[in-house]
A and B are shown apart, each in its own frame.
Chain A
Amino acid sequence: DGGITQSPKYLFRKEGQNVTLSCEQNLNHDAMYWYRQDPGQGLRLIYYSQIVNDFQKGDIAEGYSVSREKKESFPLTVTSAQKNPTAFYLCASSIVMEQGFYNEQFFGPGTRLTVL
């Protein structure tokens, strides 16, 4: 079945440590996204990538880094510079949008990161 896989589902780290969240998709989508969700909040965009080896900052990129070496994979690193890293992280993918045409985003199951 096609879909988006995020691992692990739960992740615990000590303060000051970097941690990498995995996101893999087999939908053959060109675009991938990372969102952060806090309790009672909507989703906020961290980074997105529309093509391999290219990515752009979203609204809250500070303290995060990404890479896009393969079409299927878009890992997110939460660095020690992120002041409040405890949150629910969602990965999404979509077909690359063309001029005036939007394709909806498909979401993975999420990773809950807790920094102790």
Chain B
Amino acid sequence: AQSVTQPDIHITVSEGASLELRCNYSYGATPYLFWYVQSPGQGLQLLLKYFSGDTLVQGIKGFEAEFKRSQSSFNLRKPSVHWSDAAGYFCAVANSGGSNYKLTFGKGTLLTVNP
């Protein structure tokens, strides 16, 4: 069964600093990978996704992520964090084969941004 691990429950960075949020997945074939962001009390918004091709994907709000098959990772990065980036971040994996709909989420990383 597919699974997602986000090893950092809570990360604090200063505004303007760089950011990397870690995501490791477990899946037999090439997965479909996603990063979502959730503001407090809100739904989830898709930041970026990886289906195939270039392993470095660009998303909204200046975020990017890199798929590394050898490390089963899909880490999210941003070169300079803004105070408005404070939110919960969720990595998710979907089955790339068949008609399996299932989207499996990690437990999330809460990002705090200090002024």
Which chain A residues have a beta carbon within 8 Å of chain B's beta carbons? 4, 6, 31, 33, 40-45, 48, 50, 88, 90, 92, 94, 97-100, 102, 104-110, 112
In this complex, the interface size class of chain B, counting residues with CB under 8 Å from chain A, is 20 to 34
Q: In the bound complex, how far is the Cα of B108 from the Cα of A31, in angstroms?
A: 24
* Number of interchain pairs (Cβ within 8 Å): 59
Contacts of A107 in B (CB 8 A): 36, 43-45
What's the dominant secondary structure at chain B's contact region?
Answer: loop
List 21 interface pairs A-B (beta carbons < 8 Å), by A numbering: A6-B43, A40-B108, A42-B90, A42-B105, A42-B106, A42-B107, A43-B44, A43-B90, A48-B101, A50-B101, A97-B100, A97-B101, A98-B99, A99-B99, A100-B97, A100-B98, A102-B32, A102-B94, A102-B96, A104-B46, A107-B36
Nearest CB of chain A from residue B74's CB, rounded to whole Å: 14
